[in-house]
Amino acid sequence: MSKIKLKFKKRTNESYIIYCEPNIVNSIPKYLHKHKFGKRYCVITDNKIQKIHGNNLQKLLKQNNISAEIISVAPGEDAKSLENIKKICEKLIKLGFNRNDCIIALGGGVIGDLAGFVAAIFMRGLAYIQIPTSLLAMVDSSVGGKTGINLEELKNILGAFKQPKAVFIDSLFLDTMPKAEIQNGLAECIKYGASLDKRFFKYLEKNIPLIYKPEKDSEYNYNQKVLNKIIEISIRLKSRVVQIDNKETGLRRVLNYGHTFGHAIEAASKHKIPHGHAISIGMCLINEKLVRDKILKNKDAQRIKQLLDNTGLPTSLPDNIKKSDLLTLMKSDKKNKNRGQINFVKIKKIGDFILE
Ligand SMILES: NC(=O)c1ccc[n+]([C@@H]2O[C@H](COP(=O)([O-])OP(=O)(O)OC[C@H]3O[C@@H](n4cnc5c(N)ncnc54)[C@H](O)[C@@H]3O)[C@@H](O)[C@H]2O)c1
């Protein structure tokens, strides 16, 4: 098993371990007994994941004498709403939850953001742990303690930094994920390679085609060895950045490579384009600009585009979105340092970023 410890220098009480191993889910009761994150637990999940994994987890916890309730919401981006926050908090009150208890976020990035936000605000904060079930959540959203809630069209406009007590990453959950969702998560992994680590980028070029087994029923039959390595390296890369800059005041902004265009694309599509697809196009658009500005060599831009293409990700804007539509949206991006001035994360070659 690989254990990655996330240490925050001045806040030792916020440090936590990311456990990463196939089938780790069966050992979770052992860790909950050992660390006593809460007296009682409430699994927050979506209806789809509840059926395929949530009920089993609740059963497993109960069999091991761990008190576990379950609260479930409809799946999808719309779940990250204030209405759901209210409903979940009301249910927690009804169930008698308090600061001594612990929330378990079981699901993709949507559930991680929703449950993490509830954990940040319910009774001014209670403990939570992350059990990500989508690739995107495993390699990105479950690590680093950012939570986000949407206000109508405004994505992640509300949020809090709330570090989990632990993260359990079990790649076997991915056996129930459609290929399109795996591809969505791989966009973030390619982002790590392209901006932070050229060796990882090379590994992805060689190994992404090996994720999908060639057998007949291959949709849900992934190469666990490759997936595990990709997950582990991605988490190590993200952890390194987040440990240095927990609150995104400097270095952490590098994780937004491809995201300035990406967020604008998501907004222009009214969030119909999934996050991974949007940042895939976003990486290609910023690279085109960097090539024009003679910062990045065309050869490197083409290699990144090729890898995204080979992964099955989109690399250009759909016909119904124009580049000019993106400009206004990018000017109002909440991550801009000065109002109206667009901040892009740049790379000068594969694995080598520039922050301004
Ligand atoms: N907080 C952060 O740092 C951060 C970082 C990146 C993205 N995000 C957020 O993450 C969200 C996107 O996450 P996502 O792509 O995981 O989307 P998601 O949570 O909507 O999951 C995608 C779909 O896959 C399903 N699913 C999840 N795990 C499954 C499994 N094992 N088997 C079958 N189906 C499964 C879900 O029910 C959902 O229908 C966005 O809201 C984005 O803003 C947050």
Q: Which residues does a 6 A CB cutoff place in the pocket of ligand 1?
A: 46, 48-49, 52, 75-77, 80, 107-111, 113, 133-134, 136-137, 140-141, 144, 146-148, 156, 173, 176-177, 181, 184, 275
Asked if 99 and 204 sit in the same domain, the reply is no
**φ, ψ of residue 140 in degrees (nearest 5):** -140, -75
C-alpha 353 to ligand 1 mean position (Å): 27
Interior angle at CA 81, CA 317 and CA 38, nearest 5: 120
Ligand 1 centre distance from Cα of residue 138 (Å): 9
For 83-110, write each residue's pLDDT tens digit.
999 999 999 999 999 999 999 999 999 9
Domain, as residue range, for 125: 2-175
> How much is the pLDDT for 247?
77
Chosen domain end from 143, 160, 175? 175
CA of 188 to the centre of ligand 1 (A): 12
- Asked about 205 being catalytic, the answer comes back as no
Q: Which residues contact 52 (CB under 8 A, 6 or more apart)?
A: 176
The CATH number given to whatever domain includes residue 282 is 1.20.1090.10
Domain boundary among 147, 175, 203: 175
171 and 184 co-located in one domain: no
Domain total of the chain:
2
Task: Say yes or no: 281 and 153 in one domain.
Answer: no
CATH number of the CATH domain containing 72: 3.40.50.1970
* Cα 134 to middle of ligand 1, angstroms: 6
Q: What is the pLDDT of residue 205?
A: 98
How far from the centroid of its chain's Cα atoms is residue 240's Cα?
16
The reply to whether 209 and 335 lie within a common domain is yes
CA dihedral sign, ordered 25, 147, 191, 281 = positive
As beta bridge partners, residue 104 has 43, 129
pLDDT at residue 195 in the model: 97
Boundary of a domain, candidates 121, 152, 175: 175
**Mapped to the 3 state alphabet, what secondary structure does 27-67 carry?**
HHHHHHHHHCCCCCEEEEEEHHHHHHHHHHHHHHHHHCCCC
Is 53 annotated as catalytic? no
H-assigned helices in the chain? 28-35, 47-49, 55-63, 82-94, 109-121, 135-136, 179-196, 198-207, 224-244, 259-268, 275-292, 298-311, 323-331
Looking at the fold, whether 101 and 19 belong to one and the same domain comes out as yes
Alpha-carbon span 189 to 308, nearest angstrom: 11
β-pair type (127-132, 102-107): parallel
Distances (CA, A) of 184 to 115, 136, 313, 314: 21, 7, 8, 10
188 is catalytic: yes
Helices (H) and strands (E) in the chain, counts: 13, 11
Position in ligand 1 atom list of the atom nearest CA 132 = 28
Shared domain for 171 and 116, answered yes or no, is yes
Q: Which two tokens stand for residue 77?
A: 């981006």
**All residues at 6 or more sequence positions from 324 whose CB lies less than 8 Å from its CB, including other chains:** none
Give the residues of the chain that fall short of pLDDT 50.
none
Q: What is the pLDDT of residue 343?
A: 83
Q: Are 308 and 170 members of one domain? A: no
Which residue from 56, 73, 181 has its CB within 8 A of the most atoms of ligand 1, so it is best to mutate?
Answer: 181
Same domain, 197 and 143: no
Q: Are residues 159 and 186 both part of a single domain? A: no
Q: Are residues 135 and 194 in the same domain?
A: no
Look up 271 and say whether it is catalytic: no
pLDDT at 319: 92
238 is known as an active-site residue: yes
Which pLDDT value is given to residue 212? Answer: 85
Task: Give yes or no: residues 133 and 228 share one domain.
Answer: no
pLDDT for position 202: 98
Same structural domain for residues 45 and 58? yes
Active site residue 47: no
